[in-house]
Amino acid sequence: MAQAALPKSSLTVTSAPFWHCGRTVKGMMTDTLIALAPAMAMAVFRYGYHAVEVLAWAGLAAVLAEALAQKLMAREYTADDYTALVGGLLFAFMLPATAPGWLVCIGSALTILLGRMVFGGYGMSPVCAPAVGWCIMTISWPDLIDINGMLLNWDLVHPLSELKFFGLSAVTSLSLPSLMLGQNLGALGAEQSLMLLLGGAYLIARKQLRWYIPVSFLVGVFLTALLYNLIDPQRYAPPLFHLFTGGTMLAAFFLMPYPSASPVWRTAMLLYGLFGGALLIIIRTYGIYPDGMAFAVLLSNMFTPLFDLIQPKPFGGR
């Protein structure tokens, strides 16, 4: 018996008509670059050509390292989504303006290779990639990463080093506006606290970043520093000093909420932020590094799977 011919439309296979929220990785990275722009501009204004050189080498090395890794892994190039560029710039933000070019290139390449590509690429890393690069450089070449090396070129002080080695009396003359505007020595972009705060507010306003981690991290820094200050106000700095010095704002808005390395549930994000903020002050108080912001971020990343166990109960679940 001859089979009846089926109409062509009944054999057509297409994807389901899913709605697209309109958010793309490239769009997220473009907003992140816009958010970083004020701090970059302030760093260039403060440190001139030195800042331009560090930022340029870091961005270029990150993009090239990602392209090389993708070629070896036979993957499609993704340099046009700006994820590698953002990773390289965040790494540069944690360096002194006097960092030599070769160190910037090696550190930026390791940020991408060891912080991201070994885990499969962007979105798969369980740790904050720029913090990985900074820790490797700090342990390998501590003298070249040391902020005090900048004393030879600029007649300014590094607040956290002054507090660490000379006590609270050495930083009482530093005003809050000078700390917020980065009018002291520090990492290239991390010291631009006010500009980073504005950038973070922009990301929240654009709905590229939820407020839970940044706000809880800052609350964790404030409360822990306040506790130490109440215990001994002659020895420990007040909370506002810690909020606007070092990499506090950089960690709050750009490193702690690193995609794939931070929790996804609201309660877990709040606890994760509080934990990271408390760790930052503890490391500054007892650690050998004046800031240690990257270590606090990486240690917090290690606890992300535990925080993610705190999930809302599903409907009908016991």
Contacts of 154 (CB under 8 A, 6+ apart): 47, 185
pTM for the model: 0.89
Mean pLDDT of 262-277: 94
Average per-residue pLDDT in the chain?
88
Mean pLDDT of 49-75: 93
pLDDT band, very low/low/confident/very high, at 166 (cuts 50, 70, 90): confident
Instruction: Name the range with the highest mean pLDDT among 16-25, 211-220, 256-265.
Output: 211-220
Instruction: Name the range with the highest mean pLDDT among 64-68, 72-76, 259-263, 306-310.
Output: 64-68
The Cα 90–Cα 207 span in angstroms is: 20
- What integer pLDDT is reported at residue 12 of this predicted model? 65
The Cα 300–Cα 98 span in angstroms is: 29
Cα 265–chain centre separation: 20
Q: Is residue 100 scored above 70 in pLDDT?
A: yes
Mean pLDDT of 122-130: 90
Q: Which helix (H) or strand (E) holds 204?
A: helix 193-205
Contact 196, 39 (CB under 8 A): yes
Contact 79, 63 (CB under 8 A): yes
Closest CA to 193 of 211, 218, 169: 218
The Cα 16–Cα 239 span in angstroms is: 52
Q: Is residue 133 scored above 90 in pLDDT?
A: yes
Contact 297, 255 (CB under 8 A): yes
- Distance from first CA to last CA of the chain, Å, rounded? 57
Q: Is residue 94 scored above 60 in pLDDT?
A: yes
Q: Is residue 254 scored above 50 in pLDDT?
A: yes
Contacts of 88 (CB under 8 A, 6+ apart): 58, 59, 60, 61, 62, 63, 108, 111, 112
Contacts of 318 (CB under 8 A, 6+ apart): none
Q: Residue 134, class by beta-carbon neighbours within 10 Å (0-12 exposed, 13-18 middle, 19+ buried)?
A: buried
- Amino acid letter, residue 11: L
The Cα 190–Cα 42 span in angstroms is: 11
pLDDT band, very low/low/confident/very high, at 130 (cuts 50, 70, 90): very high
> Which tokens go with 307?
């925080």
Mean pLDDT of 211-237: 95
pLDDT band, very low/low/confident/very high, at 274 (cuts 50, 70, 90): very high
The Cα 298–Cα 318 span in angstroms is: 34
Contact 249, 222 (CB under 8 A): no
Q: All domains of the chain, ordered by start, with CATH?
A: 25-309 (1.10.3430)
- What integer pLDDT is reported at residue 1 of this predicted model? 45
Closest CA to 147 of 187, 179, 94, 183: 187
Contacts of 108 (CB under 8 A, 6+ apart): 57, 58, 59, 61, 62, 65, 87, 88, 91, 92, 133
Q: Which helix (H) or strand (E) holds 218?
A: helix 212-231
- Kindly state the percentage of the chain with pLDDT values over 90: 57
Half-sphere exposure of 1 (CA within 13 A, CB side): 2
> Which tokens go with 1?
């018996």
